[in-house]
């Protein structure tokens, strides 16, 4: 199942050894629908002798059933593995294939061309060294060509082949090829694309794919395979970059051994080199470079190693070990480009987890500066990012991290966002630079802390977070609980949804994005009040679990979620403010329970149902809970 090589027959051990040490090139194919991406990969697999006889037989049968080439083999079917793809004749998911030649091994990702699969194209390109952009010689530069070119520039692909395909359908015209080259050069200058190679070819007929075509004697450049076998891979470039080792594991099998394990993402390290650990900034010297096979005199990008240092310094998973002369930067606020990959939109203020290398921290998109139209490259204002949307955003973290700008290092500058509740990857992004305020704002030490303030009040601080539908009785219950606490001599404050919107949040509406920001602000205020030693009550619909989780994370054990679990029909029947009637008549948009969702708590500390108990009974239940938790006496 391998490419043909005389070594296989002559010296199999020598062949296997040579195969093991061959370099690896990762590349993608992209471009408009029906430009021939899958056909090209099928041709490469076929020419590389990477198909079993039964695979050839199967593809011949499938070509008769699904193919578009009459009695000839349809090479695209080798890649389009999904039934939906074969039926529609398009690529939907990213298809990865492996092949090799005597000079190099290859992993190719066939990425989809449709706009709705932008996230799939970004996924395939994120680990690629090079890209083959397919252009149909008949149609030239299309909208999807521009879209994928923009995404390539966004991701920072350094090596691009513009494969002008289907030259057989334009009679191998040199004039048509040169016309497309000139048009694409203008686009490349607009996008700032670097090295570009143009190759006229026919994937179906094999022209200029493996060997030079006799049908295009006017072309004297490289074949596609010649390019793929000789283009510089990132591993070679990364070895010249500053040293970076994101720590994946603190390796301590016994008291006498303490090493820091991970993969070298860039640069070279040797025993005796001075290093700096970020974000702490502590410095030391490399004592040993340990591997399973023994110590090394040096380690380069792509190698997994364990470093032993001369000094005992505190290093944890997620830290980045750098060369002391060019260490990684540190910051907790950034300007980024973000590609949104989830069906639910990105809402500024909503908390996510951010994975940057081996670091995982809490992150919030604080603002969307603008959204980029991938078809026209125009900038547009946006309050949220929908699926496949791309925006320039500001990102805030809960602590400083070590990073490099994405254009300098994809490993320490590229990140993903993860939904805190489902653990689904919802976005991918690139760090551009740290915001100046990230370096200028520091936490100020206070001599009087939360414990001292609470002790002076003779109570434990807490945040009682009442959530539920409009009309469930949140405000009534919270008001009565505060009266009971006040009568008992406790120090309290009640934050009510309507009252807060008259002041602090008067600038917010009722869209999903505004609801997220409403609760984020309230959670921060409640945290400050709890820090003052108060028992804080909040009465808000707070419809989304993510924002309630944000409040819980801010307050920790002091957060008590109280679900006022009153059925919609009961709340709507009460309708104390007439809001449900307005919503039903279409006069009130984005009303929770009618045309905006309410995500009920899954595991609240307390659940009360005001359709089955009185306000007095609900308040007494809460008071009992506070006594049991030791918050009040």
Per-residue model confidence as pLDDT tens digits over 224-251: 999 999 988 766 667 778 999 999 999 9
Q: Which residues contact 166 (CB under 8 A, 6 or more apart)?
A: 35, 36, 136, 137, 138, 202, 203, 204
List Cα–Cα distances, 55 to 41, 52, 75, 80, 83, in angstroms. 15, 5, 12, 14, 17
Determine how β-strand 414-418 pairs with β-strand 268-269: unpaired
pLDDT bin (cut points 50, 70, 90) of residue 565 is: very high
Q: End of a domain among 323, 357, 384?
A: 323
The answer to whether residue 402 is domain-embedded is yes
Beta bridge mates, 70 = none
The answer to whether residue 67 is domain-embedded is yes
Instruction: Verify that 128 and 224 share a domain, yes or no.
Output: yes
pLDDT bin (cut points 50, 70, 90) of residue 61 is: low
The answer to whether residue 633 is domain-embedded is no
pLDDT, the chain, mean: 85
C-beta of residue 357 within 8 angstroms of C-beta of residue 319: no
pLDDT bin (cut points 50, 70, 90) of residue 113 is: low
Lowest mean pLDDT among 41-55, 68-82, 185-199, 456-470: 68-82
The answer to whether residue 473 is domain-embedded is yes
Instruction: Verify that 403 and 333 share a domain, yes or no.
Output: yes
**The predicted structure's pLDDT at residue 115:** 61
The answer to whether residue 445 is domain-embedded is no
Instruction: Verify that 152 and 219 share a domain, yes or no.
Output: yes
Instruction: Verify that 286 and 335 share a domain, yes or no.
Output: no
pLDDT bin (cut points 50, 70, 90) of residue 50 is: low
The DSSP annotation for 358-410 comes to TEEEEEEEEEEEEEE-TTT--EE--SSB-TT-EEEEEEEEEEEEEE--TTT-H
The answer to whether residue 420 is domain-embedded is yes
Instruction: Verify that 584 and 529 share a domain, yes or no.
Output: yes
How is residue 256 annotated by DSSP?
A: T
Lowest mean pLDDT among 8-12, 167-171, 250-254, 292-296: 8-12
The answer to whether residue 1 is domain-embedded is no
Instruction: Verify that 505 and 584 share a domain, yes or no.
Output: yes
Whether the link from the prior residue into 279 is cis, omega within 30° of 0, is yes
- Among candidate residues 48, 542, 596, 614, the one labeled active-site is 542
**The predicted structure's pLDDT at residue 524:** 92
Residue 347: which CATH number?
A: 2.40.30.10
Express each pLDDT in 168-190 by its tens digit.
999 999 999 999 999 999 999 88
Instruction: Verify that 470 and 436 share a domain, yes or no.
Output: no
Lowest mean pLDDT among 99-113, 263-277, 434-448: 434-448
Q: What percent of the chain has pLDDT above 90?
A: 50
Tokens 């009618």: give the residue: 594
Mean pLDDT of 64-69: 55
Tell me if the pTM is above 0.85: no
The answer to whether residue 301 is domain-embedded is yes
Burial of 452 (0-12, 13-18, 19+ CB in 10 A): exposed
Express each pLDDT in 326-383 by its tens digit.
999 999 999 999 999 898 999 898 899 999 999 999 999 999 999 998 878 889 989 8
Angle at which helices 143-155 and 174-191 pack, to 10 degrees?
50
Instruction: Verify that 392 and 494 share a domain, yes or no.
Output: no
Instruction: Verify that 374 and 277 share a domain, yes or no.
Output: no
Q: What is the gyration radius of the CA atoms in the chain, in angstroms?
A: 30
**The predicted structure's pLDDT at residue 174:** 96
pLDDT of residue 609 exceeding 70, the answer is yes
- Of 76 and 133, the one with more pLDDT: 133
Q: Residue 187: helix, strand or coil by DSSP?
A: helix
Domain count, the chain: 4
Rounded CA-CA distance 630/460 in Å is 8
pLDDT bin (cut points 50, 70, 90) of residue 86 is: very low
Name the percent of the chain in helix, strand, coil, to the closest 5: 30, 30, 40
Based on the residue annotation, tell me whether 542 is a catalytic residue of this protein. Answer: yes
Instruction: Verify that 116 and 61 share a domain, yes or no.
Output: yes
Tokens 């999807």: give the residue: 144
Q: End of a domain among 232, 250, 270?
A: 232
Tokens 């404050």: give the residue: 493
Express each pLDDT in 298-330 by its tens digit.
999 889 999 999 998 999 999 999 999 899 999
| Long-range own/partner contacts, residues 11-19 (CB < 8 A, 24 or more apart) | 19/100, 19/105
Residue 53: which CATH number?
A: 3.40.50.300
Q: Which domain holds residue 273?
A: 239-323
List Cα–Cα distances, 341 to 279, 386, 387, in angstroms. 29, 8, 5
Instruction: Verify that 213 and 306 share a domain, yes or no.
Output: no
Q: End of a domain among 305, 323, 341?
A: 323
pLDDT bin (cut points 50, 70, 90) of residue 65 is: low
Instruction: Verify that 509 and 610 share a domain, yes or no.
Output: yes
């Amino acid at each position: 199942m391998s490419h043909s090589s005389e070594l296989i027959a002559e010296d199999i051990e020598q062949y296997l050894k040579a195969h093991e040490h061959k370099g690896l090139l990762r590349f993608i194919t992209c471009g408009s629908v029906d430009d021939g991406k899958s056909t090209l990969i099928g041709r490469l697999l076929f020419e590389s002798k990477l198909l079993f006889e039964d695979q050839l037989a199967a593809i011949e049968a499938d070509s008769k059933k699904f193919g578009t080439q009459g009695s000839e083999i349809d090479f695209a079917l080798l890649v389009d593995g999904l039934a939906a793809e074969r039926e529609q004749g398009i690529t939907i998911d990213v298809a990865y294939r492996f092949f090799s030649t005597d000079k190099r091994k290859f992993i190719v990702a066939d990425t989809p061309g449709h706009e709705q699969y932008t996230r799939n194209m970004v996924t395939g390109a994120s680990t690629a060294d090079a890209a083959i952009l397919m252009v149909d010689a008949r149609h030239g530069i299309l909208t999807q060509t521009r879209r994928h070119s923009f995404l390539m520039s966004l991701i920072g692909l350094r090596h691009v082949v513009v494969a002008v395909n289907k030259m057989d359908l334009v009679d191998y015209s040199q004039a048509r090829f040169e016309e497309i080259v000139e048009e694409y050069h203008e686009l490349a200058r607009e996008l700032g694309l670097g090295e570009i190679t143009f190759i006229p070819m026919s994937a179906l007929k094999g022209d200029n794919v493996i060997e030079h075509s006799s049908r295009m004697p006017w072309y004297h450049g490289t074949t596609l395979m010649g390019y793929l076998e000789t283009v510089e891979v990132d591993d070679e470039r990364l070895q010249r970059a500053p040293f970076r080792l994101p720590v994946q594991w603190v390796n301590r099998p016994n008291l006498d051994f303490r090493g820091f394990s991970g993969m070298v993402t860039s640069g070279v390290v040797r025993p005796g080199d001075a290093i700096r650990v970020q974000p702490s900034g502590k410095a030391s010297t490399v004592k040993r470079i340990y591997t399973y096979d023994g110590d090394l005199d040096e380690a380069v990008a792509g190698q997994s190693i364990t470093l032993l240092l001369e000094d005992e310094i505190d290093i944890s998973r997620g830290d980045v070990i750098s060369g002391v002369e060019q260490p990684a930067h540190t910051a907790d606020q950034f300007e980024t480009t973000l590609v949104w990959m989830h069906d639910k939109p990105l809402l500024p203020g909503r908390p996510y987890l951010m994975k940057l290398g081996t670091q995982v921290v809490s992150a919030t998109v604080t603002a969307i500066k603008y959204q980029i139209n991938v078809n026209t490259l125009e900038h547009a204002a946006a309050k949220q990012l929908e699926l496949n949307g791309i925006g320039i955003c500001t990102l805030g973290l809960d602590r400083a991290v070590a990073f490099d700008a994405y254009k300098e290092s994809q490993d320490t500058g590229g990140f993903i966002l993860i939904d805190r509740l489902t653990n689904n990857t919802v976005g991918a992004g690139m760090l551009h630079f740290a915001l100046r305020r990230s370096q200028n704002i520091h936490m100020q030490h206070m001599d009087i802390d939360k414990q001292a303030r609470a002790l002076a009040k003779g109570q434990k601080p807490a945040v009682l977070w009442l959530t539920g539908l409009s009309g469930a009785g949140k405000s009534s219950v919270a008001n009565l609980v505060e009266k009971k606490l006040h009568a008992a001599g406790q120090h309290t404050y009640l934050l009510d949804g309507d009252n807060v919107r008259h002041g602090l949040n008067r600038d917010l509406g009722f869209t999903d994005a505004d609801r997220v920001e409403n609760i984020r602000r309230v959670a921060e205020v409640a945290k400050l009040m709890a820090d003052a030693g108060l028992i804080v009550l909040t009465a808000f619909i707070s419809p989304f679990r993510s924002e309630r989780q944000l409040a819980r994370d801010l307050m920790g054990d002091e957060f008590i979620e109280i679900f006022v679990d009153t059925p919609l029909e009961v709340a709507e029947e009460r309708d104390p403010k007439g809001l449900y009637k307005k919503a039903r008549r279409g006069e009130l948009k984005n009303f929770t329970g009618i045309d905006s969702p309410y995500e009920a708590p899954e595991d609240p500390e307390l659940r009360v149902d005001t359709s089955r108990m009185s306000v007095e009974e609900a308040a007494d239940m809460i008071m009992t809970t506070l006594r049991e938790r030791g918050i009040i006496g």
